[in-house]
Chain A
Amino acid sequence: TQLLEQSPQFLSIQEGENLTVYCNSSSVFSSLQWYRQEPGEGPVLLVTVVTGGEVKKLKRLTFQFGDARKDSSLHITAAQPGDTGLYLCAGGPTPAGGTSYGKLTFGQGTILTVHP
């Protein structure tokens, strides 16, 4: 069974601060996805990384996939109250094909609260 350990579980910061969320596994994943979930809603995909060492940026969010494809990080610069939510990492198959049929292994999630 593949496991993803996400840390920290809770993060409470002030507006303007920077933060990093980590996602680690002993298993290799073909792809790593990051989701954001608001209360009462389903997760929404933020980004997918597929290549070891890959870095993707989405405005103030920077996502990195480890060289060995076993870990990933999400860095938020100058956090804003609108960033508050549950952040989930999920390991899965290669988006380009394969037989895993979109089966994702999720981390436990990081609850981020950004105070004004």
Chain B
Amino acid sequence: NAGVTQTPKFQVLKTGQSMTLQCAQDMNHNSMYWYRQDPGMGLRLIYYSASEGTTDKGEVPNGYNVSRLNKREFSLRLESAAPSQTSVYFCASSEGASGNTIYFGEGSWLTVV
């Protein structure tokens, strides 16, 4: 089973460029999430989607937008990348609104220069 698939795995951007991180899950989960992981800070929630058609801000949403394209796909967009957005980004999904077991993708390494 593929589980949660993220693309791209690595990306280098120049300051001010835009890009979209794609995420798809094949577990028919209702809820999907985007986290970022920085050294010494654990993972922090950027945005989440409790169910298809809904999205909401997490702890660190500034500089990001999301789209829940359908039940399978949840994309994260950086409109104008900044060096502070250099991080590892993880997409995750879970069965229901209460979370239950959350399954993470393998991560997308983003460097903004």
Give the bracket for the number of chain B residues in contact with chain A. Answer: 20 to 34
Closest chain A residue to B58 by CB distance? Answer: A103
Q: Report whether A107 and B42 are in contact in the complex, using a CB–CB cutoff of 8 Å.
A: yes
Q: Which of A57-65, A67-75, A76-84, A88-96 is found at the contact surface with chain B? A: A88-96
Would A45 and B101 be within 8 Å (CB), given that A88-B43, A106-B42 are in contact? yes
Q: How far is the CA of A9 from the CA of B4 in the complex (A)?
A: 28
B99 partner, pick from A4, A41, A44, A104, beta carbons under 8 A: A104
Q: Report whether B106 and A42 are in contact in the complex, using a CB–CB cutoff of 8 Å.
A: yes
- Which of A33, A98, A105, A106 has the most CB atoms of chain B within a 10 A radius of its CB? A106
Would A96 and B104 be within 8 Å (CB), given that A42-B4, A42-B92 are in contact? no
The chain A residues found within 8 Å of chain B, CB to CB, are 1, 4, 6, 9, 31, 33, 40-45, 48, 88, 90, 92-109
Top 6 A-B pairs, shortest CB-CB distance: A102-B99, A42-B104, A106-B42, A101-B50, A106-B43, A102-B94
